[in-house]
């Protein structure tokens, strides 16, 4: 009989609440014969305050021993900026070589958007997850003095760029529109930019059916609000992907709906699925958090593990739930989770 060994990192703030709903829907979606084993990890702000640990080696090792990881949200204003991000979230992405940071953006019917005219939005951002300005290669000298110099080094390798570009071509090739856009800033960041562009062009020769184009990141933000329907699949660097996917979430109903997967396609390490939103301490415990982003992240998780039908059922459930939402009658986190679970099992 089949089984899924799932590591769960609820994390901080609303992380706990949304992960509970994600697990609820996951159980409802899984076929009877699939055994779901979960193990919860106490990582995040509370743990750091109590012990000073962000992600000890023993837990990193133990996390490896799973088929996937579901993460809620990490971060709290009481923790200095960077401590949990670099010491936990990015540490996981780097240690488990999550080079495909997958972030679909779709404007569902009846979902609010700040854009006039409700354009047709349905694209996927393939954000590089293990290189670029995120590598943590920087430092400062004469720190805190008028002579301070601080650096941040963006590191980019042919190996790292090619594998994510190839993944993006595969995804574009599998979609009806077969369009792939590279976003970078190769008129200023000429070294990294040319590496990306050259590999993008070369690998493209293997995908003759995929139409390609290139946009500078600044221009891309314009199209995100004036013509988002032009995008199908976007491949981009770690930092540009971070920025663009928050903007993409904003125009498709907000980060309450934005799902993501930190994927290691080789399967050498478990992939990790998490909503794009943060821990939102201001609404933690109020029942106002929307668990939909986590539930959609669970769909990405299922799809990654080969349960495509179950993933599709969750997406359909979310689409129907959103279609019937009444802004005048908001539901609690738990009620939304229940409604989605009911749709999925029904």
Ligand X SMILES: CC(C)[C@H](C(=O)O)[C@@H](O)C(=O)O
Q: Where is the binding site for NAD(+), in residues?
A: 278-290
Q: Under the criterion CB under 8 A, does residue 78 sit at the interface with a copy of itself? A: no
Min dist. Cβ of residue 50 to a copy of itself (A): 21
Name the binding residues for substrate.
93, 103, 127, 218
CA distances from 267 to 58, 100, 192, 195 (A): 20, 12, 27, 26
Min dist. Cβ of residue 276 to ligand X (A): 6
Cβ atoms of residues 75 and 12 within 8 Å: yes
Q: Under the criterion CB under 8 A, does residue 195 sit at the interface with a copy of itself? A: yes
Between CA 183 and CA 283 the distance in angstroms is: 34
Between CA 65 and CA 85 the distance in angstroms is: 23
Report phi then psi at 71, rounded to 5. Answer: -120, 135
Piece of the chain touching a copy of itself by CB under 8 A; list 28-36, 213-221, 267-275, 323-331: 213-221
Q: Under the criterion CB under 8 A, does residue 260 sit at the interface with a copy of itself? A: no
Min dist. Cβ of residue 90 to ligand X (A): 6
Name the binding residues for Mg(2+).
218, 242, 246
Q: Which does 319 bind (CB under 5 to 8 A by kind): ligand X, a copy of itself, none?
A: none
Catalytic residue ranges: 134, 185, 218, 242, 246
User: In the window 131-170, what residues touch a copy of itself (CB under 8 A)?
Assistant: 133-134, 136, 138-140, 142, 144-159, 162
Q: Under the criterion CB under 8 A, does residue 197 sit at the interface with a copy of itself? A: yes
Q: Which is nearer to a copy of itself, 232 or 242 (CB)?
A: 242
Cβ atoms of residues 63 and 7 within 8 Å: yes
Question: How far apart, in Å, do the first and last CA atoms of the chain sit?
Answer: 23
Name the binding residues.
93, 103, 127, 218, 242, 246, 278-290
Residue facing ligand X at closest CB distance: 85
Cβ atoms of residues 89 and 43 within 8 Å: no
Instruction: Return the sign of the alpha-carbon dihedral for residues 229, 230, 234, 238.
Output: negative
What residues make contact with ligand X under the rule CB under 6 A? 85, 89-90, 187-188, 218, 242, 276
Structure letter (DSSP) for residue 236 = E
Instruction: Return the sign of the alpha-carbon dihedral for residues 30, 279, 126, 232.
Output: positive
Q: Which is nearer to ligand X, 9 or 90 (CB)?
A: 90
User: Contact residues for a copy of itself (CB under 8 A)?
Assistant: 75, 81-82, 85-86, 90, 113-117, 133-134, 136, 138-140, 142, 144-159, 162, 185-195, 197-198, 217-219, 221-222, 224-226, 239, 242-247, 249-251, 254-255
């Amino acid at each position: 009989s089949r089984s899924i060994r799932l590591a769960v990192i609820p994390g901080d703030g609303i992380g706990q609440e949304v992960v509970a709903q994600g697990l609820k829907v996951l159980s409802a979606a899984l076929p009877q014969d699939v055994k779901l084993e979960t193990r919860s990890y106490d990582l995040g702000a509370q743990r750091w305050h109590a012990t000073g640990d962000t992600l000890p080696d023993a837990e990193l090792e133990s996390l490896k021993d799973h088929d996937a990881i579901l993460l809620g949200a990490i971060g709290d204003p009481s923790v200095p900026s960077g401590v949990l991000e670099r010491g936990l979230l990015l540490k996981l992405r780097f240690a488990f070589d999550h080079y495909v940071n997958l972030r679909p953006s779709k404007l569902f019917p009846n979902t609010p958007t700040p854009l006039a005219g409700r354009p047709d939005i349905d694209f996927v951002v393939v954000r590089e997850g293990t290189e670029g300005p995120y590598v943590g290669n920087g430092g400062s000298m004469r720190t805190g003095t008028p002579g301070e110099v601080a650096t941040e080094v963006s590191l980019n390798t042919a190996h790292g760029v090619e594998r994510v570009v190839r993944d993006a071509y595969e995804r574009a090739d599998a979609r009806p529109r077969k369009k792939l856009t590279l976003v970078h800033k190769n008129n200023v960041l000429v070294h990294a930019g040319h590496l990306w562009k050259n590999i993008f062009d070369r690998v493209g020769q293997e995908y003759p059916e995929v139409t390609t184009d290139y946009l500078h990141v600044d221009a891309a933000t314009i199209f995100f609000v004036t013509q988002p329907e032009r995008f199908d699949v976007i491949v981009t660097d770690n930092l540009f992907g971070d920025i663009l996917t928050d903007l993409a979430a904003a125009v498709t109903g907000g980060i309450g709906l934005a799902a993501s997967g930190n994927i290691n396609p080789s399967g050498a390490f478990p992939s990790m699925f998490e909503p794009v939103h943060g821990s939102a301490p201001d609404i933690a415990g109020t029942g106002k958090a929307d668990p939909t982003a986590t539930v959609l992240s669970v769909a990405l998780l299922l799809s990654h593990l080969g349960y495509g039908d179950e993933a599709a059922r969750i997406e359909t459930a979310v689409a129907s739930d959103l279609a019937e939402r009444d802004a005048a009658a908001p539901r609690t986190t738990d009620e939304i989770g229940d409604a989605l679970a009911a749709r999925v099992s029904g």
